[in-house]
Amino acid sequence: MTTGLKTTAISDSKLLFEKSKSGKEGIFLPSRKFQDDFSRLIPADFQRKDHGDLPEITEPELVRHFVNLSKKNFSVDTHFYPLGSCTMKYNPKIHEDVASLDGFAWLNPSQTEDQVQGILQIFHELSRALCELTGMDEFTLQPAAGAHGELCGMMLTRAYHHSRGEGKRHQVLVPDSSHGTNPASAAQYGYEVVQIPSDARGRVDLKALEDAMSDRVACLMLTNPNTLGLFENDILKIREIVHRKGALLYYDGANLNALLGAVRPGDMGFDIVHLNLHKTFTTPHGGGGPGAGPVGVKKILAPFLPAPLVVKQGSRYGFDYHRPKSIGKVRSFFGNAGILLRAYVYIRMLGLEGLKRVSHDAVLSANYLRKKLSTAFLNPHNEFCMHEFVLSASNLESQNIHAGDIGKRLLDYGIHAPTVHFPLVVKEALMIEPTETESKETLDAFVEVMLKILKEAQETPELVRKAPHTMPIGRPDEVQAARKPILSFRDLKRDTQASPL
């Protein structure tokens, strides 16, 4: 055991390139024949003349290096991960089995329609299933993430208004509880962003919305349930206010996990929706990709969708490129096929009844935790919640303890932090989303740890303030980490002051 620990310490302390030693080999290529074959296939200009700057290392060292690194990660497969709004759902392993079948794994997007009928059928059926689940008429599967879907939605919004001679609409309204990507996507596409305040109930302030509406408004971007985990129960009035002035209603579908099979954005009056397949439909999150953020629209917007769409003619599937009003492509080829496939498997595996149960259980788990935690922590909107809820740690400010400190201390107990300091409308926000797959034992253990940390905050605040105490990295400079990430050994060599993340 001691030796094992020591070994870990040895391998952990060095970076891969530091372990490199000239002459070590971890891979054996069938040298001559292999090289000859490739020399013939690859044009001379593209053939490497020098040896790549690669680490020279044995196979066991390499395996240990990466296995040890992977053990430092928090993931849904290893830890409870109640990251609000991000819906870190368990990814069923059957997805991987299906995606690794040869027929899918070896697909190439340059193949002809005839050769890829199977995946085209899946794209088509997935689009139809998403239409049915959301109440929309047509879907594009191209966008690669939720935020990318939002950008696509802004392009559709502008194309629609332009086609009606209403190009003067240059404002996009977003509630103050909205996710940062909403105003960012609107601004990125050149819209002026107008913020709508929440009322005391944590919902869109209807009076403020009425006041902001004019014929300059292109759309309102809305998340329902909102990022406080509250259902916008005035949604039909909101629809009326927005549509009366000729604007569109955009649905940020990040929180659809609360509503599957219960109510559909299309029936609430939304004109455009994006879905984050890596949230509701259990595809891997990946570090910023590859994901999928399909966008669905009502009929009036369908002509503007990105080309091509997958269509069914008789028993054959094909691409429809003839879309003269299309905004064009928003991604290379047709989207992230492997991710779309996994979402399809999830939907087919559960069916409508199973999906309803998903949302039911997600809401049940969130309310269970809310009830257990809302007496010890502050909860500014303590009412029946949907799939998530937001506590406030502002009662610990006198101890100089903030929401982020609680998140850090949770890591010491083997639990990923909830989303902290968001949404901005709650001071010292701790946004908790347990999802539907956690057992009652896990939820109870989480409550126990949260109460323990609260006690520590009162009795030994330093312990919480300086957490985590058990992680390889404690408190990196998050601004520098985002603005000046050190992603490779070469970057580290260049900036010897910095420490690797």
Ligand X SMILES: Cc1ncc(COP(=O)(O)O)c(C=O)c1O
Contact residues for ligand X, defined by CB under 6 A: 85-86, 145-147, 179, 181, 223, 227, 252, 254, 276, 291, 293
Q: Work out whether the CA dihedral 195, 201, 202, 206 comes out positive or negative.
A: negative
Shortest gap between Cβ of 184 and ligand X (angstroms)?
A: 9
Shortest gap between Cβ of 419 and ligand X (angstroms)?
A: 8
Backbone angles phi, psi at 204, to 5 degrees: -60, 130
Count of C-beta atoms within a 10 Å radius of residue 175:
26
Whether 393 and 430 have beta carbons less than 8 Å apart is answered as yes
Torsion of CA 437, 439, 444, 445, to 10 degrees: -90
Shortest gap between Cβ of 492 and ligand X (angstroms)?
A: 28
Which tokens sit at 173? 């309204």
Whether 161 and 167 have beta carbons less than 8 Å apart is answered as yes
Give 363 or 457: the residue with its C-beta nearer to ligand X: 363
Residue facing ligand X at closest CB distance: 146
336: left (phi over 0), alpha (psi -120 to 50) or beta: beta
Whether 417 and 83 have beta carbons less than 8 Å apart is answered as yes
- Measuring CA to CA, which residue among 341, 362, 182 is closest to residue 260? 362
Shortest gap between Cβ of 216 and ligand X (angstroms)?
A: 24
Give 174 or 355: the residue with its C-beta nearer to ligand X: 174
Residue 162 exposure: Cα atoms within 13 Å on the Cβ side = 11
Cα distance between residue 353 and residue 373, in whole Å: 30
Give 61 or 436: the residue with its C-beta nearer to ligand X: 436
Residue 147 exposure: Cα atoms within 13 Å on the Cβ side = 14
Residue 274, amino acid: H
Whether 350 and 437 have beta carbons less than 8 Å apart is answered as no
Whether 404 and 394 have beta carbons less than 8 Å apart is answered as no
- Measuring CA to CA, which residue among 192, 191, 193, 182 is closest to residue 147? 182
Give 157 or 276: the residue with its C-beta nearer to ligand X: 276
Cα distance between residue 464 and residue 446, in whole Å: 16
Rounded to the nearest 5 degrees, what angle is found at the Cα of 231, between the Cα atoms of 229 and 237?
145
Using CA atoms, how far residue 181 sits from 149, 150, 177, 454, 486, in Å, is 10, 8, 12, 32, 24
Q: What's the farthest any 2 CA atoms get from each other in the chain?
A: 76
Shortest gap between Cβ of 186 and ligand X (angstroms)?
A: 12
Shortest gap between Cβ of 85 and ligand X (angstroms)?
A: 4
- Measuring CA to CA, which residue among 197, 269, 246, 267 is closest to residue 226? 197
Residue 462, amino acid: E
Please state the separation of Cα 468 from the chain's center in Å. Answer: 25
End-to-end CA gap in the chain: 28
Shortest gap between Cβ of 2 and ligand X (angstroms)?
A: 43
Cα distance between residue 258 and residue 387, in whole Å: 5
Cα distance between residue 349 and residue 335, in whole Å: 22
Residue 69, amino acid: L
Which tokens sit at 90? 């368990």
Shortest gap between Cβ of 235 and ligand X (angstroms)?
A: 16
Give 120 or 173: the residue with its C-beta nearer to ligand X: 173
Shortest gap between Cβ of 290 and ligand X (angstroms)?
A: 11
